[in-house]
Structure 1
């Protein structure tokens, strides 16, 4: 039996230092050079590889889409010999770009899908220093803490069942991008303070209803001891494009809390590029 090569996507490198805004990611109104690394995961060497890069993502034009690839033995990687070049429009919505890398070689052809995130690396936003006291809003239940902080892929709501007056605060944020985005919340809290209790945090899509803890649920911190014996907890969740989300911090018992603060990361960077691609060939 004769084996065949199997070229698959390995990684992508963005270079916007020459013709873009230099932040290392794809933004609107920007000319970007792009190198796509492939890996031969097959059972035979890959030789004579030619590639053409295309996309149907609105607001994106491939201005230089042809390149050869070096020969690749089994398990080897290779990078396009001539950088690909793309141009985004002024109206390009931050999100992801879906490319097709169409490969031809002596014994056949294949198409490798390449998905590239854009506008990543926006500045973190903050949850200001605060405490939960008897003057805050109250709710009659709280989420269970299962010790499994949520991740980008999602988590089933742990539900409530812990009656008693709890104090809470809410903080509002927005995913302003044109694609779903994974956000990470980190809550930092003082420990060793006498007379205070644990806190927990959860995220909700659009709005929070303290009488229905699983309505619009996105994720939660899930950690026991936050604000008493544990000083920091992080959790992640995915928010749909152009959607608001609410971060809730609440006590887990009827006592007040120590001081806490937080950061929310995962926002888009909407810094636009300087304009169209130059007419000269891209540099590597």
Structure 2
């Protein structure tokens, strides 16, 4: 077997892993995101004062997580599903450290987003309209929106996609980058803009690094939820309205300060988390990510 043959085989295997990760992650995201929107619209049309869509979506998400974590048919894939989801507990101090590192990363990311939007025009994304919606319903919808995306997207990209890419590519850093590419690509509906998609890619790197360093989705989901709240309340409204560019925007200087101050703090926190979380990552190497039959 020549070196060229080996290289071609490795390339085909890598592309196959990426394609499988893309299909699976998009399917999971479509379930989590595709159902929620129509439910909200139906709720607002039929009974806007009673936010029944939120508890119904919570039940549907619970069913999704139970299945992805290994419950239900078929039995042959239960261990694989449980492994890929990274639904793993961790010590509370490690969880607190991971969430703290993620929040520092989010603070820097928020500064990066505002600064980028003040230097290069970023098209406004899809922002839900709550005009005329009763306050209890608006709060319920905001809370569920801040939970539906973290649950489904973390399961899709930091769970299944990253796990499949780790198995196929034999490289955790490459899997982190690859899953972040897929995470950015699925946000193309928010605007086919390279700057905006690169920002989503950066957010994906934060969440993926958290999931990898802790071998768990718990902290990544918590930080992702906080990131969505930041988006709903600060970042996306900033892009929705006309604003000055550069220093003409009052938010530009605070954004630069946040980027400069919180970036090194986040790096230090992630380095600490890498050391503390080493036993959690070591436990993942005790058995293969998927059965040989599925990996073939």
* TM norm structure 2: 0.22
Higher strand share: 1
Higher helix share: 2
